[in-house]
């Protein structure tokens, strides 16, 4: 009987380890910007972005911000915006234009440039209670560039 108990508790422990290993994933350390180009046409750009948050809403917002940050400070290979729209030094650029970025992100003004944002994965749980989600986000690139020009974040075309 004692032997049976021991075996059953061992099985439970193994099962717990297996289930934990399957559902909880380790997140990469530091900032992640998993953003990939999907398609682009006539001034729009569609990207698949991964975001992390405590719930689905936070994770979606994070994914959308990641997509914008990549467009602003990295550029997306294969797309029409291969080079960074603003510049590669995001710390300096964000510091220089604090008000603009506060309005854009904290007041969620960036949403006005999002044409669609569709979740393409379920919410995945990670260690430490974090959750991640993949979304396909379509951005109105022409309007975004115009807005950056009008707010003197980037120079207008020409001298």
- Would you tell me which residues interact with another protein (CB under 8 A)? 41-43, 80-83, 142, 145, 149, 155-159
Report the distance separating Cα 112 and Cα 5, nearest Å: 61
CB-wise, 9 or 43, nearer to another protein? 43
Q: Shortest distance, CB of residue 89 to another protein, whole angstroms?
A: 15
In this structure, the number of other CB atoms found within 10 A of the CB of residue 145 comes to: 19
Q: Shortest distance, CB of residue 54 to another protein, whole angstroms?
A: 37
CB-wise, 86 or 104, nearer to another protein? 86
CB-wise, 37 or 105, nearer to another protein? 37
CA distances in angstroms from 89 to 61, 69, 93, 94, listed in the order given = 22, 11, 6, 9
Q: Shortest distance, CB of residue 80 to another protein, whole angstroms?
A: 4
CA distances in angstroms from 84 to 80, 107, 112, 116, listed in the order given = 11, 23, 20, 22
CB-wise, 84 or 134, nearer to another protein? 84
Stated as kind and residue range, the H or E segment containing 149 is helix 141-150
Q: Shortest distance, CB of residue 40 to another protein, whole angstroms?
A: 9
């Amino acid at each position: 009987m004692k032997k049976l108990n021991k075996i059953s508790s061992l099985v439970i422990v193994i099962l717990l380890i297996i289930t934990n290993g399957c559902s909880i994933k380790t997140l990469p350390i530091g900032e992640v910007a998993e953003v990939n180009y999907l398609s682009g046409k006539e001034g729009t750009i569609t990207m698949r972005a991964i975001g992390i948050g405590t719930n689905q809403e936070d994770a979606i917002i994070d994914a959308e911000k990641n997509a914008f940050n990549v467009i602003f400070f990295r550029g997306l290979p294969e797309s029409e915006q291969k080079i960074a729209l603003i510049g590669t030094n995001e710390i300096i650029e964000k510091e220089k234009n604090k008000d603009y970025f506060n309005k854009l992100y904290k007041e969620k003004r960036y949403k006005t440039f999002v044409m669609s944002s569709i979740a393409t994965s379920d919410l995945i749980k990670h260690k430490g209670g974090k959750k991640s989600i993949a979304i396909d986000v379509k951005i109105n690139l022409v309007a975004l560039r115009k807005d950056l020009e009008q707010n003197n974040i980037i120079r207008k075309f020409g001298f």
